[in-house]
Amino acid sequence: MTTEPLPRRRFPLGLTLAAGVGLAILVSLGLWQVQRLAWKEALLARIARLETAAPAGLVPTLKSATAPEDLDMVRVRLDCPGLPGAPFVELYGLMDGDSGRRLISACALGEGPYASILVDRGFVPDSVTERPAVGAPAAAPGPGAASASVTGILRIPDRPNRFTPAADPEKGLWFARDIGGMAASLGAPRPAPVMLMAETSSNPAFKALIPSPVPAAISNRHLEYALTWFGLAAALVGVYAARLRKHYRS
């Protein structure tokens, strides 16, 4: 009596493809977090340097930059006589959990590679319905005089995503830092590719306008996230190996 050999198990192609796709996704997410870690560490280093950095002149800074990235997180000083009473558009924003509007005005530049720059003058909470008067004098003697000089931080605007609401230029309301659209609405030609986030008041008489300081606390958990994704990838490899071993032993 002869014993027929057991049929060979077929290679689990479906299981292997599913495991391969899952592994590729997990590893790519881990690598993305590693890239984000390098970016965040560079950003935090720039913020640390800003704590003691003296403001530089805006126009010389714009002239010396070879790319917009060279201008990000740089403290500058801007003299803009018309800024206290300049027209503005509004940008929806949050500060310390409160919703409100940020006031964005344009300042003309007399020289340099750009003709204008947009200035984020600060935050006004929704509980305040008043706005600074447009056309107010650039400077006036006495307490509470309007200031024509602003110190602030240059920032590259974040790109809007698919969930960002569309702007309403007729109402002067934006939901993303669209330099081109805001500049066009304000009649500002050839705007700089960065926005100046004011640290000092552009209108001391309007107390509700809160200038934006340098971010004080930015979380950096990208290494933790990267290790999590790589750990899940290793676990997937272990589960796949166990299933493969069981498949051929059964």
- Average pLDDT of the chain? 86
Structure tokens given for 55? 């403001």
Residue 87's domain spans which residues? 53-198
**pLDDT tens digits, 146-157:** 557 899 999 999
In a domain, 210, yes or no: no
Neighbouring C-beta atoms of residue 139, cutoff 10 Å: 12
In a domain, 129, yes or no: yes
Cα-Cα-Cα-Cα dihedral sign, residues 25, 30, 35, 41: positive
Burial grade of 11 (CB within 10 A; 0-12, 13-18, 19 or more): exposed
In a domain, 212, yes or no: no
Instruction: Clarify whether residues 75 and 137 are in a common domain.
Output: yes
Instruction: Clarify whether residues 150 and 243 are in a common domain.
Output: no
Instruction: Clarify whether residues 137 and 37 are in a common domain.
Output: no
- Number of structural domains (the chain) is 2
**pLDDT tens digits, 19-73:** 999 999 999 999 999 999 998 888 788 778 777 789 999 999 999 888 888 898 8
Instruction: Clarify whether residues 46 and 63 are in a common domain.
Output: no
In a domain, 4, yes or no: no
In a domain, 236, yes or no: yes
Where among 198, 226, 241 does a domain terminate? 198
92-96, 180-184, 233-237: least confidently modelled range: 92-96
